[in-house]
Amino acid sequence: MNAIRRSDNESRPRRRFALLGTVLAVVLGVLGAQAAAPGDHAAAARPQRGHHHWYQFGVASWYGRFFQGHTTASGEPYNEDALTCAHRTLPLGSVLRVTNLRNHRSVVVRVNDRGPLPPNRVIDLSWAAAHLLGFSQKGLAPVEIQLIGPSPEVAQLNSPAPQSDAQTAAR
């Protein structure tokens, strides 16, 4: 039996390092779990419930000189140099961000008319908006539409109705 036998004293440093590593891992694990635990600051980062982000993808077109000065669905005269648009369903006065998916340019427009008439299109933009998006020469472009802000009418529908003094006194 020519095997070299180690004494117990030689293996003790390894045991100490193993024990020290285990204790260190447990301490760091506990500290990390406490740091990741939700506290008061997590409530501020949490998104509000009930907030819905509306968006739509489709093909945009533009309309210009032929309609200049004609009355829009909102009652105002059409101005090809204004940043406005026509949408079938969004409330008049809604504010939208329209992004051209070919070149990633975007513009903010206000809905003031109804349309577009062709069923394969989702929005009609004024000439100025189409020019800023870079498709005034082409006529059509794939776009993403995001609702930035509702019209004042929609905001009034979503907020509670003001109470009169008589209603308040009755309670």
Pairing of strands 123-126, 84-86: antiparallel
pTM: 0.59
Centre a 10 Å sphere on the Cβ of residue 84 and count the other Cβ atoms it contains. 21
pLDDT higher for 54 or 98? Answer: 98
> Residue 157: its pLDDT value, please?
39
Residue 78 contacts residue 125 (beta carbons within 8 Å): no
Helices of type H across the chain: 8-36, 40-45, 127-133, 152-158, 165-170
Mean pLDDT of all residues in 139-146: 95
Nearest to 100 by CA among 81, 79, 67, 125: 125
Q: What is the pLDDT of residue 115?
A: 87
Nearest CA-CA partner of 98 in 73, 139, 126: 126
Residue 64 one-letter amino acid: G
Cβ atoms of 129 and 109 closer than 8 Å: yes
Q: Do residues 156 and 93 lie in contact, with contact meaning Cβ atoms separated by under 8 Å?
A: no
Q: Would you place residue 6 in the very low, low, confident or very high pLDDT band (cuts 50, 70, 90)? A: low
> For residues 110 and 7, what is the distance between their CA atoms, to the nearest angstrom?
85
Domain ranges of the chain: 65-91
Q: What is the mean pLDDT of the chain?
A: 77
Dihedral angle, C-alpha 56, 78, 151, 140, nearest 10 °: 10
Cis ω on the peptide bond leading into residue 13 (within 30° of 0)?
Answer: no
